[in-house]
Amino acid sequence: MSNEVVSYQKVIDFIVSSGQRLLARAGKIKDIGITKSDLTEEDLVIERGLKETVVGFGGNPTVYAEEENDVFNKSPDLWVIDPISGTHRFIKGESHYAIVISHLVNHKTVFAAVYDPSVKELYTAYLGKGAFLNSAPIRVSLSATNIIIRPSMFWKDPDAVERIKNLLQKKSLENNEYSMAVNYCKVAKGEADCVVALTKDAFPEYAGGFIIKEAGGKFTNIEGSDDLKPTDRVFVGGNLKIYNELPPLVKKAMEKSENQS
């Protein structure tokens, strides 16, 4: 479906209203996961609601999402959804989780939104039109010193993380537990210069990476490709001044990991 007939405002309105509900329930909700941890009824409600919204636009949209629609189909009208990026933080009542969505038309991202209700920050990006925080334009930084190293809590190779840190020891490194999507948006608004993410899946990367790119930066998998695949697990994003330094170093650390396994 052409993005001209899609109401992105309707999608935005849904995630903002859902985010306000999350804010009221944060720290007061149960983990209902059986085959996986960090699953709440809100993950399901949001994923189902977003699917209903985009299907309502007509055409033949495909949804790729974390909970009930997790089979990837490289469709010409694809919506990638992470209903709650950082569900663990939401369950614990901590800040910086997010609702995340992106729209790919003919395999190219044309729209993305990330909403962090804990601080009421809505990030959006539109192909060729830039990236925005609460409707104000944002840009990546111009420096090359501050790097976020963000391994997923499910990442199974802590030695690789330490090797990456050692290779970057001359930089200022930050290691937080914020939602992956929130960290990508920190880079897009210039609060950090770059992010190295080691993930359990690739749902928030489609939106977060696109927002970084529309903010003037670069975002790729470890191979340096911005044609992301659902099987990718290591990502690098940042401003152009620092980005080119990082993929070879991160790849070196990961290759050492593979050789030792």
- CB under 8 Å to 34, separation ≥6 — which residues? none
Cβ 89 vs Cβ 40: under 8 Å:
no
Inter-CA distances, 77 with 64, 89, 197, Å:
11, 31, 27
Span 204-257, pLDDT tens digits: 999 999 999 999 999 999 999 999 999 999 999 999 999 998 999 899 888 865
Only one residue has tokens 């919204």, namely: 53
Q: Which domain holds residue 66?
A: 3-137
What CATH number is associated with residue 238? 3.40.190.80
Domain match, 121 and 211 both: no
What CATH number is associated with residue 74? 3.30.540.10
Domain match, 114 and 221 both: no
User: CA-CA distance, 150 to 194, in Å (whole number)?
Assistant: 11
DSSP 230: T
- Counting Cβ atoms within 10 Å, is residue 111 exposed (0-12), middle (13-18) or buried (19+)? buried
Provide the number of structural domains found in the chain: 2
Nearest CA among 141, 109, 84, 120 for reference residue 8: 109
Domain match, 110 and 150 both: no
Cβ 147 vs Cβ 165: under 8 Å:
no
Output the average pLDDT for the chain: 94
3-state secondary structure 61-106: CEEEECCCCCCCCCCCEEEEEEEEECHHHHHHCCCCCEEEEEEEEC
88, 118, 137 - which closes a domain:
137
Span 147-186, pLDDT tens digits: 999 999 889 899 999 999 998 888 999 999 999 999 999 9
